Amino acid sequence: MSETHGKNYNLRDEIKAYWSARAAHFDLSPGHEIFSEDERQAWRALIEKHLGAGNGRPALDLASGTAVVSHLMDDAGFRVTGLDWSETMLALARTKAKKRGRDITFRTADAENTMEPDGAYDVIVTRHLVWTLVDPAACFAEWMRVLKPGGKLLIVDGDFVNVGFAEKLVKRLAAFAERIGLIRPEISHAPAELAGKHAEILSQVHFSQGARAGDVAAMLQQAGFESVTIDTELQKIHRAQAKHLSFFKATARGLQHRYAICAQKPL
């Protein structure tokens, strides 16, 4: 920890600062923003498969970022509140919602301490949040608290740490193809100076060894959630994203351990 950060600067502050620094370029990346109607419809199908139609039900989008998932939930008919602890992300989210004429509420809050009332939401949704959590048990207890009895949680996440043999091979082939000039280097939408910070943060979070679906599901059950199901059928989303990625990057993404987990608060 840098001395300039001071004694009160902790891991959560580092994570907040990291994502604030990523905010300006966040929507440029396939897999963050949505660039086709095919992908939008694939996400819509996933949401309705696990959560049903919105019908005006209140939904909480945790770590909403620039509000990509908030807009998907709004499309599906939910009454959406997006929470994020990065004001930089939220400023972009508010601008986007205003430009698109969306009635979405945004508030600054920590996923571990939402400051939302007990039993306020029918649905909670998160995308690529769980793998970054410092204390997932505390977060899951908090999410249980703000859900209504019978309310549902939908987590979309992945293990971005453990790289299988096939994915390693694809990445090596891509690196070789770049070196000999067969393909252009991948464009990174994350500032290069943040690469080390990402690795440093990852080494300290709870799922530093990778957020495997089975481990996350087990923790949800321990927190009191029931009807916990793991869905790895995300191919339609990945195929739609692949149209905006290089061949090698799209292939590698399709080989990763990505999943959706749906769980319910007991009645």
- Residue 152: give its domain's CATH number: 3.40.50.150
pLDDT, tens digit, 9 for 90 and up, residues 136-152: 999 999 999 999 999 99
Domain span at residue 230 reads 3-264
Domain tally for the chain?
A: 1
Classify residue 76 by burial, with Cβ atoms within 10 Å: 0-12, 13-18, 19+: buried
Residue 31 φ/ψ, nearest 5 degrees? 100, -20
Whole-model pTM: value is: 0.89
- Count of residues in the chain: 267
DSSP 208: T
pLDDT for 167 equals 84
Q: Which of 68, 108, 59 is nearest to 88 (CA)?
A: 108
Q: In what order do the strands lie in the sheet with 105-108?
A: 105-108, 79-84, 58-62, 121-127, 147-159, 257-264, 226-231
pLDDT, tens digit, 9 for 90 and up, residues 157-212: 999 898 888 888 988 888 888 888 888 777 666 666 677 777 888 888 999 999 99
3-state secondary structure of 153: strand
